[in-house]
Structure 1
Amino acid sequence: MKRRLVLASNNAGKLREFAQLFKPFAIELIPQGQLGISAAEEPFDRFIDNALAKARHASKLSSLPAIADDSGICVDALGGAPGVRSARFAGEHCSDTDNNQKLLSLLAGDLNRKAHYVCALVVVREADDPNPIVVETHWDGEIIDEARGQHGFGYDPYFYVPEHQMTAAELSPERKNAISHRGQALVQLMEQLEKDPFFQKTDD
Structure 2
Amino acid sequence: MNPLSILRDTWYFFSRHVGTLVPLCLPWIVIETLVQQQINLAAGSQNFAPWGMAAGLVFYPIYTASLILYMIDAGEGAERGVRELWSAALRLWPAFALLSAITSLLIVVGLSLLVLPGIFIMIKLAFSEFLLVQRGQTPIDSMRESFRLTTGHFFLVLVTSLAILAPVWIAEGWINDIGKDSPVAGVALHSLSGFFQLLLTVAAYRIFILLPERDS
Looking at secondary structure, tell me which structure has more helix per residue: 2
Looking at secondary structure, tell me which structure has more strand per residue: 1
The higher relative CO (CA closer than 8 Å, separation ≥ 6) is in 2
